[in-house]
Amino acid sequence: MSRFAYVNGRYVPHAQASVHVEDRGYQFADGVYEVIALRNGLPVDLGLHLDRLNRSLAALFIDEPMPRRALVHVLRQVVKKNRVRNGIVYVQVTRGVAPRNHPFPRHVPPALVITARPRVGPRADQVENGIRVLTMADARWARCDIKAIALLPNVLAKQQAAEAGAYEAWLTTPDGSVTEASASNAWIIEADGTLVTHPLGQAILPGVTRAVVLDIARQAGIPVTERPFTVAEAKAAREAFITSTTSLVLPVVQIDDVVIGNGHPGEVARRLRALYIDHMSGKSAGWDAEGHLGS
């Protein structure tokens, strides 16, 4: 848990951190967020995360809470005050505080909350042995490309998976295609070794880890295609895995009741996880908010 939080201009003890009852994030889920990995006290792919934050804000017509350089300073202070070396820093921006009414309020500054905490993610045995995912219908809104805080369908899907003893939920369209998971992107490896993941668009979140893994795979000579794939294809795949800021690259060894491959984490997934960890430990980790993929 965080020791300190940044709330609308103030660094406060985490236990005392609060927002107004009429914050539109609380009333309407009218806001966006980012989760940024911390490695040895440094943020990973900070520039990519802040770029996505700005795209999400623009899509919802919410003003940026402060200039990027100032935001990076606040992020750095929150990480420092919480003494987090390996973990995450969480950023949330809402439209702000106003009397409850559906139309956007005028002349209201956005609200900004930032916290940081030690590492979260899969257990060591889940990394070593792989995970099970459960498929279910995608009941989310039609703008999944916006990293909005309106996550109730994701929460319900994740809970259903957890109750069934699975780590994640893979969300599907009526035609049987997999879009993504409740809190991660979904991938398969075809029999010929081709890496497949759903293309960008309004149906999925443009994951930062997804983008980096695609770049890493191409640099490693792994054939890649971005296209929809079906649940049936996934169950017949050579390998499967998920990616996210907290899960990194996490092998999937079972989908519903079907064992994938030989039931153990596959060679490609394990290789990509190792390459991604190298990426996290390299120059991608730092307070340069202008960083770009592959730089």
Three-class secondary structure of residue 226 per DSSP: strand
Rounded to an integer, what distance in angstroms lies between the CA atom of residue 185 and that of residue 245?
10
Q: Are strands 87-94 and 111-118 parallel, antiparallel or unpaired?
A: antiparallel
Rounded to an integer, what distance in angstroms lies between the CA atom of residue 223 and that of residue 238?
14
Q: Token digits for 219? A: 């640099």
**Phi-psi group of 208: left, alpha or beta (phi > 0 → left; psi -120 to 50 → alpha; rest → beta):** alpha
Q: Are strands 131-137 and 248-255 parallel, antiparallel or unpaired?
A: parallel
Torsion angle in degrees (nearest 10) through CA of 119, 16, 46, 60: 120
Active-site residue identified among 80, 81, 147, 283: 147
Q: Which of 262, 266, 260 is nearest to 236 (CA)?
A: 260
73's CB contacts (< 8 A; 6+ apart) are: none
**Residue carrying structure tokens 């009429």:** 22
Residue 18: phi and psi, rounded to 5, are: -155, 160
Q: Which amino acid type is present at position 91?
A: V
34's CB contacts (< 8 A; 6+ apart) are: 49, 50, 52, 53, 90, 91, 147
Whether the CB-CB separation of 75 and 113 falls below 8 Å is answered with: no
CB atoms within 10 A of CB 106: 6
Q: Is 283 a catalytic residue?
A: no
Active-site residue list: 147
